[in-house]
Amino acid sequence: MSQLSHVFPAGAYPAAGYVRLEGLACWRGLLPVFDNLTAEVKAGEALALYGANGSGKTSLLRILAGLLPPQAGAAATALGRCDVHYLGHADGLKSALTVSETCAMLAGFYAAPAFDEAALLAALGLAGRGAQTVGDLSAGQRRRLALARLLIAPRALWLLDEPLTALDASGRDLLAALAAAHLAAKGMIIAASHEPLSFASLRLDLDASKGGA
């Protein structure tokens, strides 16, 4: 993955970056999903969120992304909204567009600088598929393409919801390489998963918190 070194150059992100969970609580109706969550992620670190369905992994990511308010506590960070990528369960791709059109759309949406499409697609394992429509891609290829935004518009904090979904062994190796390059540049990752994440140095088990449905 040497082609990633120019995407996440050393010093690309603030060395003093952090995300701090301070007594976070989330309720679903009258039931507590989690309560009094406390953790800290510093520049160059990745936190894995584990827990059964309903333990609040997605809710926590949505709180951190600013899409859901917490019932109590706060998420303190030195980052702004434009320093965060949130990749949810859905890939967020338009099936009628080609791969090339999708990359151009992402670049426009994020107001990203010009990029080398051939190098980008090669890094994602999608070389030669620029003219292929997204709807004709396999689930794993769509997931790889969804990762393109992380390269087109690098941001300090990645919030990833089940990032291993639909990825085969080589796709998982790709994700691990992307994560390693991002962390080496002092980026941060908070990812929810049912499976172990090889790139995560920290973990938070939501089943240990007060849970609901």
Provide DSSP, 49-64.
Answer: EE--TTSSHHHHHHHH
Check whether 190 has a pLDDT greater than 80.
Answer: yes
Contact present, 88 and 161 (Cβ < 8 Å): yes
Check whether 3 has a pLDDT greater than 70.
Answer: no
Q: What is the mean pLDDT of residues 137-151?
A: 96
Check whether 31 has a pLDDT greater than 90.
Answer: no
Check whether 44 has a pLDDT greater than 70.
Answer: yes
Displacement of CA 71 from its chain's centroid (Å)? 24
Check whether 11 has a pLDDT greater than 90.
Answer: no
Amino acid sitting at position 129: R
What confidence tens digit (pLDDT) does each residue in 145-162 have? 999 999 999 999 999 999
- pLDDT for position 42: 96
| DSSP designation for 169 | H
Q: What is the mean pLDDT of residues 156-178?
A: 96
Check whether 174 has a pLDDT greater than 90.
Answer: yes
pTM of the model: 0.92
Q: Would you place residue 10 in the very low, low, confident or very high pLDDT band (cuts 50, 70, 90)?
A: low
Displacement of CA 173 from its chain's centroid (Å)? 15
- pLDDT for position 209: 66
User: What stretch of H or E contains 175?
Assistant: helix 169-184
Share of the chain above pLDDT 70, in %: 92
What confidence tens digit (pLDDT) does each residue in 55-107 have? 999 999 999 999 999 999 999 998 888 899 999 988 999 999 999 999 999 99
Which residue, among 101, 180, 96, 186, has the nearest Cα to 148 in the 3D structure?
A: 101
Show the DSSP H helices in 31-138 as ranges: 57-64, 99-109, 117-123
User: What stretch of H or E contains 123?
Assistant: helix 117-123
Amino acid sitting at position 13: Y
